[in-house]
Amino acid sequence: MPLMPAPPAPAVVLLDLDDTLYAERDWLLSGCRAVAGRAEALLGRSAAELYDWLLQRLLTEGRERLFDALLAAHGRCDPALSALLVHVFRSHRPRLTAFADVAPALAAWRARGCGLGLITDGVSCVQHAKLDGLGLRAGFDLVLCTDDLPGAARKPAPLAFQLALAHFGCAPEQAVYIGDDPSKDFLAPRALGMRTLRIDRHLPWPLQSRRDFPDSHQAHRTIESLAEAAAPDASGLAA
């Protein structure tokens, strides 16, 4: 049986941010530490005690209405205080660490002349702070936070991917998108004709949905490291 030819090397590589380039859990815990420090004087409890409370709540109930629950548990049901804690959480400056395979992969793609773009959902100031905290901004030619775009642009909407292709002057089949979340990451780029890779880092506490999704939401291939996609023979990009 003849060997299938390797796919052409991409002209453009687009990447997701959370749980693709770093563990989103680290940012979440960083924010909880900032909130615990701010709430110490408000609630009359030590920052360490409040952080432990937040961590246990996260593990058992998730992050939905987390700070409302913190205030209620300490007898302070106050919308203004809740808004203050949300502000602290969103505006804190995290110091984050990228996964070990990120810098070598970006360098390998850059050395081959690939355009590099980042497409991320989330509150704009939060996502930009994450990128700066990781020290990765200079590694990308284009950074798109979907909340900075008009209309309902969060994934799986196609607008950010269309904008990226236009920015690089790239045909869809010359681009690859790498993300982690089948609930939203791959539907639009697949429909546009891009190659897609899901990176599964086997995180102990992933934040993306664990539900099953139809084939249209799945990536063409799953990888465990960006090294697979950045290999010189592009074997990690095969469908």
Establish if 2 belongs to a structural domain.
no
User: Is residue 30 domain-shared with residue 57, that is, in the same domain?
Assistant: yes
Instruction: Give the tokens for residue 207.
Output: 């934040």
pLDDT greater than 60 at residue 101? yes
Over residues 30-61, the pLDDT tens digits come to 999 999 999 999 999 999 999 999 999 998 88
Establish if 131 belongs to a structural domain.
yes
User: Is residue 74 domain-shared with residue 182, that is, in the same domain?
Assistant: no
User: Is residue 119 domain-shared with residue 72, that is, in the same domain?
Assistant: no
User: What is the reported pTM?
Assistant: 0.89
- Structural domain ending residue among the three candidates 91, 109, 142: 91
The CA-to-CA distance between both ends of the chain, in Å, stands at 18
For residue 1, what pLDDT is reported? Answer: 44
User: Is residue 44 domain-shared with residue 109, that is, in the same domain?
Assistant: no
- Structural domain ending residue among the three candidates 91, 123, 143: 91
Establish if 137 belongs to a structural domain.
yes
User: Is residue 136 domain-shared with residue 214, that is, in the same domain?
Assistant: yes
Question: Containing H/E element for 72?
Answer: helix 66-73
Establish if 1 belongs to a structural domain.
no
Number of domains in the chain: 2
Instruction: Give the tokens for residue 189.
Output: 């780029």
Q: How many CB atoms lie within 10 A of CB 168?
A: 19
Residue the block writes with tokens 């780029």:
189
Report residue 140's pLDDT band, with 50, 70 and 90 as the boundaries.
Answer: very high
Strands of 85-220, DSSP E: 115-120, 142-145, 175-179, 195-199
Torsion of CA 177, 181, 185, 190, to 10 degrees: 70
**pLDDT above 70 as % of the chain:** 91
Q: How many CB atoms lie within 10 A of CB 3?
A: 5
Judged by average pLDDT, the poorest of 68-72, 115-119, 165-169, 229-233 is: 229-233
Question: Containing H/E element for 234?
Answer: none
pLDDT greater than 70 at residue 234? no
Q: Identify the three-state secondary structure at position 87.
A: helix
For residue 105, what pLDDT is reported? Answer: 98
User: Is residue 146 domain-shared with residue 80, that is, in the same domain?
Assistant: no
Torsion of CA 156, 86, 23, 105, to 10 degrees: 60
Establish if 43 belongs to a structural domain.
yes
For the chain, what is the mean pLDDT?
91
Of 166, 50, 34, nearest in space to 94 by CA = 34
Query: What domain range includes position 69?
Result: 26-91
- Structural domain ending residue among the three candidates 71, 91, 111: 91
For residue 53, what pLDDT is reported? Answer: 97
Establish if 3 belongs to a structural domain.
no
Establish if 30 belongs to a structural domain.
yes
User: Is residue 137 domain-shared with residue 204, that is, in the same domain?
Assistant: yes
Q: How far apart are CA 83 and CA 68, in angstroms?
A: 9
Establish if 5 belongs to a structural domain.
no
Q: Which CATH number is 206's domain given?
A: 3.40.50.1000
